[in-house]
Amino acid sequence: MGWHSVASWTWDAQDETCGICRMAFDGCCPDCKLPGDDCPLIWGACNHAFHLHCILKWVNSQSAQAHCPMCRREWQFKE
Ligand SMILES: [Zn+2]
Ligand SMILES: [Zn+2]
Ligand SMILES: [Zn+2]
């Protein structure tokens, strides 16, 4: 199985760029012109963050269960 019960919160150690589009999280995805509420960040259950639009495109491009592009765990939206 693996590390399904990792106790520590590791967000601070993550990159500050989106792993899909490589744009900074304080910017927006390539499909948007302005950062902010129209291009929110979304976290997965694995604690990797992406632009919402990027991960939606990613998930939709997967034929079956989507996996996190960063860690290859099954992708589930957090909360
Ligand atoms: Zn992105
Ligand atoms: Zn966007
Ligand atoms: Zn991940």
Tens-digit pLDDT profile for residues 14-71: 568 999 999 999 899 999 999 989 999 999 999 999 999 999 999 999 988 999 999 9
Whole-structure pTM value: 0.79
CB 50 within 8 A of CB 39: no
The pLDDT confidence band at residue 13, using thresholds 50, 70 and 90, is very low
- Ligand 1 centroid–CA 66 distance in Å is 16
Q: Which 8-state DSSP code applies to residue 11?
A: G
The per-residue pLDDT for 1 is 47
Q: Which ligand has the shortest distance to the CA of 54?
A: 1
What is the distance of C-alpha 31 from the center of its chain? 16
The per-residue pLDDT for 9 is 47
The pLDDT confidence band at residue 8, using thresholds 50, 70 and 90, is very low
- Ligand 3 centroid–CA 8 distance in Å is 15
